[in-house]
């Protein structure tokens, strides 16, 4: 049976693709989900995974332009007969035929564990930890692994009881719907079935021909070492050796992520051995340090952050306005009432509540700062959902204080404590991190004097708090020492004019320098 | 404690990137590789000579004697047929042992040269842990010094296993070490254990004219190898007049004057008594960590004396301390230790080397030699893997007939479906050298037909490998 593989619909506006490169050759034995070729559209490059395991027959050559839906290649599937033959030939009389079939031809008994849809904007997840090993027996609903998306971490329960076979290793990035693992239902037959299925993996045709594709992708000893040092998986290398074997040359040419680090190793080592040859060996140990750089895969959180920050820089007209706040009044107030406040509300009185409150008042007066752009329209928010930037173990997260304008100072403080606590434990839900209308970030906790924050899109403005430093300032003609904080407001000039942004920041300053205004709403 | 604190701050304390304890094939190779990678390297050897068991009391001297005994045997039994008439050859055992010692000395010198050439500092003395980062060196004159090491490689090897109910006196009841230093040829040598070492040394004395009796607990010779090999080897050694007591459990051994008595129980539980003039005990080897003071480094050996290591790095539970060769899991083979020695040096340099343990060949240096790599037939059956078998006998090989070395065969096991070679087992002349071809083929996951389609020079022993692969492919050996 042959399966035709067609150009998938890759995006709304894309009508055709170009075949960029074939990773596999005509007649190769390909595995399910193995990348067959790369396709290019006018927007992006993407990989085409095999829809089935079998022998590849290429239809479209490299450089061919194909409309969506056109046939690229076909895969000849021959698993069922092989399975039966092997079962007959195998000297393992105890293996029931059905159990062999369970692996190869009746997939209903092998449940594929796929990445669930976890949120609207999430397209892929990173496997962070497997709680179970391949071959472990798992129970229904038992947590088998932890997944990490760019927004949150979540746990994946087993969909069925059975024997687990891990497909995606920790660190692997898997698209929604991608296969993470397989669970074989009916544990006792599995070990034998696995052995037989290894044999099944090879197509019948290779049994007697020299073109032994069972070894396709097998690296030579030198190639294996090189690939490991580059951090390249053998599965990502197209072997040019006999039967698709990966030669040393293939491994050297496999320029994947870490080619630079391999280069870094070699000169250090050869320089060191040169020094041995020339006789100056004793002092060499410091210069021998084999690797001075380390390479780690970016987490999906980091990748998303990076992509968004660049997008914001490129797609908005961002600039920053500054001001300074005399913190004495707020500090005096806090000094006077912090004990009573804590006693009554069970939460400490920090600066965050004052800033949040002041921002809410100012946002009401300057609605464009609390807006966003949607196509050709401006969306004004008649509520203040304030995002606060929190440093979490895996990077920056921005949980949201809902309807902050209606909360008391105590209400805001307890929300901050709750959200920051969850952030530190990686327990924030997606919902708690989405939908903010304006962001406050505090670089002051790390000692920043002044910096220009980047807008948290699609919001249009962000307030940056900084450290409080005693400075000499002039009050009523006298030089006095006051605790001063610089404030920065970055904003999207496309919809916020200078008058509004500057006035907004001045208003925040006024409210903080005279907190009674917060009470009186003036 | 005051003293120790002083030694830490002692400006004269020598410091190394890598200190290797033990100069056997694992240790000295590891030191060379470390030096090649630019590390400041030191090696510590307890004995006065370098090379460890392999060179001094193992592989090299036993091969020297094996070849001498083989020459003698040929002179007595085969020269005439070759058309060489010589007076009845006599054994000069003293010269034979002296030649062996000369070989060993030459190799000792070779290692010392390699250490110098690679600028490796050599220390003679007992190396023991002082802490996880320092090694105390106690010299023969009783003086000691402490070496600081960023990385320490334990390569202390193994010693023969001794059982409490067999009183080894090293005179009449001996181990392999003494068997290489004999002053007379035994009249009747009783060998306890017919594994690799027992088979090798037993066959040496059998060829020199001793009556040799093998007492073995398992059902046949070299029981860990493919069963066909044990059977074929037994046939060859039986021709030397050896006797075999398989499935016999030794219960005691005793010496009275020049007579040794070994008592054993056969499979039925009946007691058997064997009398001889020497008894060689070859029941295995144990990892050797005596005097190493593992505790000071925070290490413990397992119940079998081995040091646990991480599979991917061979690092022990203590960072910066590695272990290789006979002191860690796996076969006790010199070439396995060498691979691990290179491996660890490269790991320390931040590289990512590989060792395919399934493809470390096992060799028995009897004549005919036995060599194998990959899975045995028994292992494939147990694992439920469908396989094909192809064999080719040496007696059908032109070269073997010409040399009168017709004992033995090559047996190839290949996957029933893919034809991939899964195991190769050979017994015959030069099998130890021929197994390399099988290792190369299997590292590249060659099929039996791949090898069968490669040209093999004629007339050579290696044609047996090609023919066995043809047989495994589809029962179409050309000369069978």
Nearest to B19 by CA among B354, B344, B289, B305: B344
> What pLDDT was estimated at residue B474?
83
A195 at B interface, C-beta within 8 A? yes
Kindly report the nearest CA distance between residue B365 and chain A, in angstroms. Answer: 27
Q: If you count DSSP H runs as helices and E runs as strands, how many of each does chain A have, helices first?
A: 14, 27
Q: Which fold has domain B368-474?
A: Enolase-like; domain 1 (3.30.390)
Chain B CB contacts of A90 below 8 Å: 384-386, 416
> What pLDDT was estimated at residue A428?
84
The residue ranges of every structural domain in chain A are 2-76, 79-201, 218-253, 259-288, 301-520
Mention the CATH class of domain A2-76. Answer: mainly beta
Percent of chain A at pLDDT exceeding 90: 30
- B68 contacts: CB under 8 Å, gap ≥ 6: B96, B99, B100
Cα separation of A76 and A27, whole Å? 9
Buried b (16+ CB within 10 A) or exposed e, B388-420: bbbbbbbebbebbeebebbbbbbbbbbbbbbbb
> What pLDDT was estimated at residue A45?
65
Q: Let me know: does B66 contact B55? Beta carbons within 8 Å.
A: no
Q: Which fold has domain A218-253?
A: Dihydrolipoamide Transferase (4.10.320)
> What pLDDT was estimated at residue A95?
38
Per-residue model confidence as pLDDT tens digits over A334-384 = 999 989 999 999 899 989 999 999 999 999 999 999 999 998 899 999 999
Give the mutation candidate from B418, B451, B475 for the A interface (greatest A CB count, under 10 A): B418
CATH number for the region B173-283 comes to 3.50.50.60
Strands across the sheet containing A137-138: A110-114, A179-184, A162-166, A137-138
Nearest to B345 by CA among B48, B16, B14, B15: B16
> What pLDDT was estimated at residue A283?
41
Measured at the CA of A249, the angle between CA A45 and CA A213, to 5 degrees, comes to 75
Mention the CATH class of domain A301-520. Answer: alpha beta
- At residue A4 the predicted structure's pLDDT band, cuts being 50, 70 and 90, is confident
Q: Which residue has the higher pLDDT, B93 or A191?
A: B93
- At residue A386 the predicted structure's pLDDT band, cuts being 50, 70 and 90, is very high
Active-site residue, from B77, B78, B82, B458: B458
> What pLDDT was estimated at residue B169?
93
> What pLDDT was estimated at residue A78?
65
One-character DSSP codes across A42-111: SS-EEEEE-SSSEEEEE-SPTT-EEETT-EEEEEE--HHHHHHHHHHHSS-TTS-HHHHHHHHT-GGGEE
CATH number for the region B2-158+287-357 comes to 3.50.50.60
CA-CA-CA-CA dihedral for B329, B331, B332, B338, to nearest 10: -90
CA atoms within a 13 Å half-sphere pointing along the CA-CB vector of B182: 28
Residue B476 is given by DSSP the state -
A218 at B interface, C-beta within 8 A? yes
Q: Does domain A79-201 have CATH number 2.60.40.10?
A: no
**B2-158+287-357 and B173-283 have identical folds:** yes
Query: Is a pLDDT exceeding 80 seen at residue A93?
Result: no
Cα separation of A425 and B25, whole Å? 51
CB–CB contact B349 A224 (8 Å): no
Lowest mean pLDDT among A227-241, A251-265, A284-298: A251-265
**A79-201 and A301-520 have identical folds:** no
pTM: 0.55
Residues paired with residue A75 on neighbouring β-strands, in sequence order: A3, A56
Per-residue model confidence as pLDDT tens digits over B61-89 = 999 999 999 999 999 999 999 999 999 99
Size of interface A-B (CB pairs under 8 A): 124
> What pLDDT was estimated at residue A290?
56
Cα separation of B350 and A228, whole Å? 11
Chain B CB contacts of A229 below 8 Å: 351-352
From B38, B118, B420, residue closest to A284, measured CB to CB: B38
Residue recorded with tokens 């990959």: B374
Name the average pLDDT for chain B. 93
- At residue B350 the predicted structure's pLDDT band, cuts being 50, 70 and 90, is very high
CB atoms within 10 A of CB A362: 24
Per-residue model confidence as pLDDT tens digits over A476-519 = 999 999 999 999 999 999 999 999 999 999 999 999 999 999 88
- At residue B120 the predicted structure's pLDDT band, cuts being 50, 70 and 90, is very high
> What pLDDT was estimated at residue A370?
96
User: What are the start-end ranges of the E strands in B211-366?
Assistant: 211-215, 243-245, 249-256, 259-265, 271-276, 278-281, 285-287, 321-323, 362-364
* Chain B nearest-CA residue for A282: B40
Kindly report the nearest CA distance between residue B47 and chain A, in angstroms. Answer: 26
Cα separation of A37 and A253, whole Å? 18
CB–CB contact B449 A210 (8 Å): yes
Query: A476 is written with which tokens?
Result: 């009523």
Cα separation of B362 and B342, whole Å? 19
CA atoms within a 13 Å half-sphere pointing along the CA-CB vector of B268: 3
- At residue A397 the predicted structure's pLDDT band, cuts being 50, 70 and 90, is confident
Residue B388 is given by DSSP the state E
Cα separation of A161 and A111, whole Å? 10
Q: Which residue has the higher pLDDT, B288 or A13?
A: B288
- At residue A186 the predicted structure's pLDDT band, cuts being 50, 70 and 90, is low
Cα separation of B389 and A484, whole Å? 87
CB–CB contact B443 A220 (8 Å): yes
* Chain B nearest-CA residue for A220: B444
Cα separation of A314 and A161, whole Å? 49
CB atoms within 10 A of CB B458: 11
> What pLDDT was estimated at residue A191?
37
Name the average pLDDT for chain A. 79
Chain A CB contacts of B383 below 8 Å: 195
- At residue A213 the predicted structure's pLDDT band, cuts being 50, 70 and 90, is low
> What pLDDT was estimated at residue A170?
84
Q: What are the φ/ψ torsions at residue A282 (nearest 5 degrees)?
A: -65, -40
Query: B360 is written with which tokens?
Result: 């470390």
CA–CA distance from A286 to each of A291, B13, B16, B20 (Å)?
11, 18, 11, 20
Query: Is a pLDDT exceeding 90 seen at residue A260?
Result: no
Active-site residue, from A57, A374, A497, A514: A497
- At residue A203 the predicted structure's pLDDT band, cuts being 50, 70 and 90, is very low
Query: Is a pLDDT exceeding 50 seen at residue A89?
Result: no
CA-CA-CA-CA dihedral for A66, A70, A76, A80, to nearest 10: 140
Per-residue model confidence as pLDDT tens digits over A304-338 = 778 888 989 999 999 999 999 999 999 999 999 98
Q: What is the ipTM of this complex?
A: 0.72
Per-residue model confidence as pLDDT tens digits over B199-216 = 999 999 999 999 999 999
Q: Which residue has the higher pLDDT, B124 or B11?
A: B124
CB–CB contact B119 A91 (8 Å): no
Give the length of chain B.
480
B351 at A interface, C-beta within 8 A? yes
Verify whether residue B458 is a known catalytic residue. yes
| Span B241-269, average pLDDT | 94
The residue ranges of every structural domain in chain B are 2-158+287-357, 173-283, 368-474
Query: Is a pLDDT exceeding 70 seen at residue A195?
Result: no
| Span B364-372, average pLDDT | 93
């Amino acid at each position: 049976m042959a399966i035709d593989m067609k150009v998938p619909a890759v995006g709304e506006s894309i009508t055709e693709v170009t075949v960029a490169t074939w990773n596999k050759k005509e007649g190769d034995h390909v595995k399910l989900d193995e990348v067959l070729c790369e396709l290019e559209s006018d927007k992006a490059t993407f990989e085409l995974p095999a829809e089935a395991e079998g022998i590849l027959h290429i239809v479209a050559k490299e450089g061919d332009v194909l409309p969506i839906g056109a046939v690229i290649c076909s895969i000849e599937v021959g698993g069922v007969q092989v399975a039966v033959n092997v079962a007959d030939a195998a000297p393992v009389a105890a293996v029931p035929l059905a159990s062999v079939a369970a692996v190869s031809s009746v997939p209903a008994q092998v449940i594929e564990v796929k990445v669930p849809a976890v949120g609207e904007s999430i397209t892929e997840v990173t496997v962070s930890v497997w709680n179970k090993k391949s071959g472990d027996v798992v129970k229904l609903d038992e947590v088998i692994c932890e997944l990490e998306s760019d927004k949150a971490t979540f746990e994946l329960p087993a969909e069925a009881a059975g024997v687990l076979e891990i497909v995606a290793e920790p660190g692997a990035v898997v698209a929604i719907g991608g296969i993470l693992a397989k669970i074989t239902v009916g544990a006792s037959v599995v070990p034998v079935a696995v052995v037989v299925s290894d044999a099944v993996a090879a197509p019948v045709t290779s049994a007697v021909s020299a073109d032994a594709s069972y070894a396709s992708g097998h690296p030579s000893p030198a190639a294996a070492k090189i690939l490991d040092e580059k951090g390249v998986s053998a599965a990502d290398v197209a072997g040019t050796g006999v039967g698709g074997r990966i030669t040393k040359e293939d491994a050297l040419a496999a320029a994947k992520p870490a080619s630079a680090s391999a280069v870094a190793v070699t000169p250090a080592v050869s320089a060191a051995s040169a020094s041995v040859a020339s006789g100056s060996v004793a002092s060499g140990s410091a210069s021998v340090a084999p690797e001075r750089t380390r390479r780690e895969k970016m987490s999906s959180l980091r990748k998303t952050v990076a992509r968004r920050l660049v997008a914001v820089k490129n797609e908005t007209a961002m600039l920053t306005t500054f001001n300074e706040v005399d913190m004495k009044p707020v500090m005096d107030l806090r000094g006077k009432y912090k004990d009573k406040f804590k006693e009554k509300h069970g939460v400490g009185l920090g600066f965050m509540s004052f800033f949040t409150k002041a921002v809410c008042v100012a946002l009401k007066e300057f609605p464009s700062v609390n807006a966003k752009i949607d196509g050709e329209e401006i969306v004004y928010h008649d509520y203040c959902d304030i995002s606060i930037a929190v440093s979490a173990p895996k990077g920056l997260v921005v949980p949201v204080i809902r309807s902050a304008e209606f909360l008391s100072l105590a209400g805001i403080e307890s929300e901050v404590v709750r959200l920051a606590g969850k952030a530190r434990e990686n327990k924030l839900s997606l919902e708690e991190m989405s939908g903010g209308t304006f962001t406050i970030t505090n670089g002051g906790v790390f000692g920043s004097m002044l910096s220009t924050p980047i807008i948290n899109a699609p919001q249009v403005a962000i307030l940056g708090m900084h450290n409080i430093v005693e400075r000499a300032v002039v009050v009523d003609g006298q030089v006095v020492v006051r605790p001063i904080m610089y404030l920065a407001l970055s904003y999207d000039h496309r919809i916020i004019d200078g008058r509004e942004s500057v006035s907004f920041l001045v208003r925040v300053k006024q409210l903080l320098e005279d907190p009674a205004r917060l009470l009186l709403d003036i | 404690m005051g003293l120790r604190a002083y030694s830490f701050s002692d400006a004269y304390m020598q410091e190394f990137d890598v200190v290797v304890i033990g100069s056997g094939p694992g240790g000295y190779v590891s030191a060379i590789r470390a030096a090649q990678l630019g590390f400041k390297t030191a090696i510590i050897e307890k004995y006065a000579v370098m090379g460890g068991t392999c060179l001094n009391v193992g592989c090299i001297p036993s091969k020297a004697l094996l070849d001498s005994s083989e020459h003698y045997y040929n002179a007595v039994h085969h020269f005439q047929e070759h058309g060489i008439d010589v007076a009845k050859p006599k054994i000069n055992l003293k010269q034979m042992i002296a030649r062996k010692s000369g070989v060993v000395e030459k190799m000792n010198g070779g290692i010392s040269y390699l250490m110098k050439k690679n600028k490796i500092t050599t220390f003679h003395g007992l190396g023991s842990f002082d802490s996880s980062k320092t090694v105390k060196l106690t010299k023969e004159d009783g003086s000691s010094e402490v070496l600081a090491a960023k990385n320490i490689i334990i390569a202390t090897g193994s010693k023969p296993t001794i059982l409490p109910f067999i009183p080894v006196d090293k005179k009449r009841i001996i181990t392999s070490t003494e068997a290489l230093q004999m002053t007379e040829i035994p009249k009747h040598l009783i060998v306890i254990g017919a594994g690799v070492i027992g088979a090798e040394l037993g066959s040496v004395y059998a060829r020199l004219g001793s009556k040799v009796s093998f007492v073995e607990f398992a059902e046949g010779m070299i029981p860990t190898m493919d069963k066909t090999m044990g059977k074929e080897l037994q046939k060859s050694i039986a021709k030397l007049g050896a006797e075999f007591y398989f499935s016999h459990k030794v219960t005691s051994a005793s010496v009275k004057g020049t007579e040794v008595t070994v008592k054993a129980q056969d499979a039925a539980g009946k007691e058997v008594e064997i009398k001889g003039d020497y008894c060689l005990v070859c029941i295995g080897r144990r990892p050797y960590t005596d005097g190493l003071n593992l505790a000071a480094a925070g290490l413990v050996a397992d119940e079998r004396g081995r040091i646990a290591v991480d599979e991917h790095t061979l690092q022990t539970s203590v960072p910066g301390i590695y272990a290789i060769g006979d002191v860690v899991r796996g076969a006790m083979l010199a070439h396995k230790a060498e691979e691990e020695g290179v491996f660890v040096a490269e790991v320390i340099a931040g590289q990512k080397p590989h060792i395919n343990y399934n493809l470390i060949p096992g060799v028995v240096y009897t004549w005919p030699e036995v060599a194998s790599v990959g899975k045995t037939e028994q292992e494939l059956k147990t694992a439920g893997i469908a396989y094909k078998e192809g064999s080719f006998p040496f007696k059908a090989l032109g070269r073997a007939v010409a040399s009168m070395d017709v004992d033995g065969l090559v047996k190839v096991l290949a996957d029933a479906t893919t034809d991939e070679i899964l195991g190769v087992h050979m017994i015959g002349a030069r099998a130890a050298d021929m197994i390399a071809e099988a290792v190369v083929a299997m590292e590249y996951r060659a099929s039996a037909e791949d090898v069968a389609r490669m040209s093999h020079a004629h007339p050579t022993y290696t044609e047996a490998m090609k023919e066995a692969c043809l047989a495994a492919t589809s029962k179409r050996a050309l000369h069978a």
